[in-house]
Structure 1
Amino acid sequence: MKKFYVASSFRNIEQVRSISGQLKNKGYVQTYDWTDNSRASTIKDLRDIGEKERIAVKDADFIIVLLPAGKGSHIELGIALGQGKPIFLHSPDDKVMNFETTSTFYHVSGVEIVIGTTDRLFEKLEEENYI
């Protein structure tokens, strides 16, 4: 069974939960659900959460990054890139293609940019035989 991880910011928590729920309903395994956490209040909390997220990215077969994303999500993107994991970068609009504000690493090999609705994200996952 394929395993996945969804990276994003607390601003997108409901969207992360929705996408994760849909994938789990299809039989996929979520390597870690960071949305169950409250915001970290100590360095120890940050360390514990960071270790769980690092392991979750390592254990996943593919990664979904939902924009806009926070600094932790971008580190998770880097970990996934370094491990050669397939990454699906979802942006609700085409700001991801704005040369002045986009990230270099959004456009490297292994990153599939998906612009539009989450339905479009699921279509792309299906087209690429991930679901």
Structure 2
Amino acid sequence: MTDFFIAGSWRGRRAVLDVVDGLEGAGASTYSFVRAEYDEDASRFAVPGGADDAALDDEGIRKLFEQDLAALRGARDFVLVLPAGAAAHIEAGIAFGLGKRCWAVGPVDRSETLYRVFEAMAADPPTLLGLLAASGVIR
């Protein structure tokens, strides 16, 4: 089991890494696409734009999906790093449906009613870490 599954976008890779680094610095274990290791089939798609034109039934796409979904199932909590695209928002919905505590961090460009799935939304990683510590989720 992993403490946190962190989702975001390739364009926001630096922000995702800031969250990963902050959580790991607080002693939490994490899983995120920016540090995940994939087998050869999946790794060619696990790069910015790598899956954009791929067939959904490609073996590498299937493996990438299965590995990430298994990691999501195995995580205690979920963090969405904003701004993020549709795929990361789908992951948030899956996490919420699985009963995970969901958190969000980053700028919000508009209010969405479905953002109610999040326990809290923080403006930046230090604020997120403070909220998690105050909630007893991390030390």
Shorter-normalised TM range: 0.7 to 0.9
Rounded to whole Å, the distance in 1 between the matches of 2:135 and 2:66 is 29
Question: Letter of the aligned partner of 1:14 in structure 2?
Answer: R
Does residue 1:11 correspond to 2:20, yes or no? no
Percentage identity across aligned positions?
A: 28
Deviation at 1:88, TM superposition (A): 0.4
Question: Letter of the aligned partner of 1:106 in structure 2?
Answer: Y
Rounded to whole Å, the distance in 1 between the matches of 2:18 and 2:100 is 22
Rounded to whole Å, the distance in 2 between the matches of 1:96 and 1:51 is 31
Rounded to whole Å, the distance in 2 between the matches of 1:27 and 1:115 is 20
Rounded to whole Å, the distance in 1 between the matches of 2:85 and 2:62 is 17
Root-mean-square deviation (CA, aligned residues, Å) is 2.0
Rounded to whole Å, the distance in 1 between the matches of 2:110 and 2:80 is 12
Structure ranking higher in helix proportion: 1
Match of 2:130 among 105, 123, 127: 123
Rounded to whole Å, the distance in 1 between the matches of 2:65 and 2:96 is 17
In the alignment, what sits opposite 2:104? Answer: 89
Structure 2 unmatched ranges of 5 or more: 36-45
Does residue 1:65 correspond to 2:72, yes or no? no
Question: Letter of the aligned partner of 2:116 in structure 1?
Answer: H
Q: Deviations over 1:29-77 (max 9, x none)?
A: 12x3311431434333322221111111111110110111111111111
Deviation at 1:96, TM superposition (A): 4.1
Partner of 2:12, secondary structure, is: helix
Rounded to whole Å, the distance in 1 between the matches of 2:124 and 2:93 is 24
Does residue 1:46 correspond to 2:47, yes or no? no
Does structure 2 conserve the Cα–Cα contact (< 8 Å) formed by 1:63 and 1:86? yes
In the alignment, what sits opposite 1:34? Answer: 33
Structure 1 unmatched ranges of 5 or more: none
TM-score normalised per structure 2: 0.76
Match of 1:107 among 116, 119, 128: 116
Question: Structure 1 residues 125 and 2, CA, compared in 2 at 3 Å: closer, same or farther?
Answer: farther
Partner of 1:20, secondary structure, is: helix
Question: Letter of the aligned partner of 1:63 in structure 2?
Answer: F
Q: When the two structures are aligned, how many residues end up with a matched partner?
A: 122
